[in-house]
Structure 1
């Protein structure tokens, strides 16, 4: 598992064990896929631009810059999935506001409850855990979104960068 010292990314594959060290605020979701498996329960995959680090402006600059990497977020053994999308304008970018790990209230401790709260969407579900794969090393960008051509389009590859 490779790191990228300049951005502060310590490894290229993270999991639910790293949840407390992660933050998805303003991560852009480019794609969402519910993948059937040989198991009874499907997987939930999100293709996103993950903001590894926000960089405070240095004068004369007045805006933040961002270390951003394309990533695949994969939740395993998903069930009880519910949510919705709310596109109200011409630019339906999906941005994550926050990801919450909730305490199960039904005694099923093996199944974590998740809530992906977005600016134009909302997802709640149960899953056994997640992995997040940083597909490329982070790039320093003037905004929090990578150009489509530079990120390789919409992709659900489950391999961390080398």
Structure 2
């Protein structure tokens, strides 16, 4: 089944937040850039869930490896309790407590939110002015919601495109 997905863009931001879906996206790794106040998360982003027209067949998914980079991060809290397969799956990402900033000498953005990443294994919360999500390759059509390590390029925090999309 050939399914060519046309992506709207390669870099998504907090301004796209309301149209983004996060349910069942896999988290592979976290990295912290303490000098630039960034939290980087290596994920598989599910662009589309495709239901089968044939009875007894499962969903298929269009999935891309992506680097999610939150900017101006502070007050990071992680509460995780995994008794399962050592995997982290996002249930929902939401934001609350919008705050208007007046520290223009330090931060170029004017608002900050409290972000909560609710996972099946726990919660991650922090304050940030927003994010950039860098899509690293064209979505892969497959039956799994996550991409095998070799196909996704292992763990990466690369902030650009790895192939010609």
Q: One fold, TM greater than 0.5? A: yes
Q: CA deviation at 1:8?
A: 4.5
Q: Partner of 1:69 in structure 2? A: 64
Aligned residue-pair number: 153
Q: Partner of 1:94 in structure 2? A: 88
Q: CA deviation at 1:61?
A: 4.5
**Structure 2: which 5+ residue stretches go unaligned?**
102-109
After superposition, the CA RMSD in angstroms is: 1.7
Secondary structure (helix, strand or coil) at the match of 2:111 reads coil
Superposed CA offset, 1:23-77 (max 9, x none): 111000000111122x4xx210100011010001120442100000000000001
* TM-score (normalizing by structure 2): 0.86
Q: Partner of 1:51 in structure 2? A: 46
Closer, same or farther in 2 for the Cα pair 1:6/1:61, shift >3 Å? farther
Q: Partner of 2:104 in structure 1? A: none
CA contact (8 A) 1:26 1:95 kept: yes
Q: Partner of 1:119 in structure 2? A: 120
**Structure 1: which 5+ residue stretches go unaligned?**
none
Q: Partner of 2:156 in structure 1? A: 155
Q: Partner of 1:22 in structure 2? A: 20
Query: Matched residues in 1 for 2:74 and 2:24: separation?
Result: 25
Q: Partner of 2:133 in structure 1? A: 132
* TM-score (normalizing by structure 1): 0.87
